[in-house]
Amino acid sequence: MSEFTIRPMRTGEADEVSELVRVSTNHWYESHARGAIFTGPAEATRLFCEVYEALDPGFCIVAEDAETGRLAGSCFYRRRETHISLGIMNAHPYFFGQGAAAQLLAFITNYADQQGLPIRLVSSAINLDSFSLYNRAGFVPRIIFQDMFIESLDEDLLASVNGADRVRPATPDDIPAIVSLEQELVGIRREKDYRFFIENAMGIWHTLVLEGDDGRIDGFLGSVAHPGSNLLGPGVMRDESTAEALIAAQLNHHRDSTPVFLVPAQAAELVRTLYGWGARNCELHFAQIRGDFRPPTGVIMPTFMPETG
């Protein structure tokens, strides 16, 4: 085991952390019979530092090797009204298995305990290193998600989905309704995140809402399009047909690319519909939560940019 100093990322270290995220993730997946995750230009993973620093400056922490000063690991986290969100965790392959991730995680679990808040994250079900890291620290897998994508879309089919005519782009005026819907169905609040997505200063997010007959918001679904991240989510919907309409509208918006989206495996009708549209699974993820958890009602769709488990 190496000795690590856990401290916030310093100004000027963003390039090194971005490289660490890319090398670590690609190395892990390539050495476990899968392809690289980050296949775009090397600078694309700078997105993680840029987004998390814009949202919550100082909440990226690194593990510095006490002997050499090299960065051995990094992790992003943020505090919201009801919980702490933990974003992407990485150890440099040179330091795999030496405790860097466990020490970064201990720093964040101590912080969460001081704040008296649960921690929420999404971790890959095929990555036993990360599953075990969190599970040993008291996280409990609560929800299974299927990571899906659709390579060739039938645009006519998408346009005919029930409820498509009630989907529209979200505006800042929708933020209170979005926040209350998530509170009602999932029991958590994170207004700052939704303000960030909808204000969209970086120009890479696209958030849609579905408005019911009475003018109430029945669901919302975001998406991000960037060489470092091409995903649908986050989303919360009252029911599976609302989720279907929002996913169709987002896929329509992104028809020149192939975004990945996470769907709860328990939403069986929705999953069946997505197979009918040509969806394929590329991975499975667990919502892992340390501390209080209330099973959600409705459908939830997390994203990794930024992490919204």
CA atoms within 13 A of residue 84's CA, in its CB half-sphere: 22
Q: At its nearest, how many Å lie between ligand COA and the CB of residue 24?
A: 4
Residues found in the chain:
309
CB 238 within 8 A of CB 298: yes
76 CB-contact burial (10 Å; exposed 0-12 / middle 13-18 / buried 19+)? buried
Measured from the CB atom, is 133 or 236 closer to ligand COA?
Answer: 133
**With respect to ligand COA, which residue has the nearer C-beta, 130 or 242?**
130
DSSP H helical ranges for the chain: 14-30, 46-55, 100-115, 128-136, 155-159, 175-186, 191-199, 240-253, 268-276
Count each helix (H run) and each strand (E run) in the chain, helices first.
9, 13
Q: For residues 206 and 285, which CB has a smaller minimum distance to ligand COA in the complex?
A: 285
Q: How far is CA 58 from CA 83, 205, 277, in A?
A: 18, 23, 42
Phi-psi category of residue 69: left, alpha or beta, with phi > 0 → left and psi -120 to 50 → alpha: left
Q: Which is nearer to ligand COA, 128 or 140 (CB)?
A: 128
Q: How far is the CB of 200 from ligand COA (least distance, A)?
A: 25
Taking the least distance from each CB to ligand COA, the nearer of 84 and 198 is: 84
299 forms bridges with which residues in the sheet? 237
- Shortest Å, Cβ 260 to ligand COA: 15
Nearer to ligand COA, 98 or 303 (CB): 98
In whole angstroms, how close is the CB of 188 to ligand COA at the nearest point?
19
Angle at 174 between CA 119 and CA 79, to 5 degrees: 20
Reduced to 3 states, what is the DSSP secondary structure of residue 240?
A: helix
41 burial via Cβ count (<10 Å: 0-12, 13-18, 19+): exposed
Helices (H), 31-166: 46-55, 100-115, 128-136, 155-159
DSSP string for 260-293: BEEEETT-HHHHHHHHHTT-EEEEEEEEEEES--
Give me the least distance between CB of 290 and ligand COA, in Å please. 15
Residues that bind ligand COA (CB under 6 A): 24-25, 28, 73, 88-91, 96-102, 123, 127-130, 132-133, 136
Closest approach, Cβ 29 to ligand COA, in A, equals: 8
**Dihedral sign computed on CA atoms, order 133, 135, 140, 145:** positive
Nearest approach, Cβ of residue 132 and ligand COA (Å): 3
Residue 143 or 170: the one with the smaller Cβ distance to ligand COA is 143
Nearest distance in Å: CB 135, ligand COA: 8
By beta-carbon proximity to ligand COA, the closer residue of 102 and 299 is 102
- Is 122 or 221 the residue whose CB approaches ligand COA more closely? 122
Closest separation in Å from C-beta 285 to ligand COA:
9
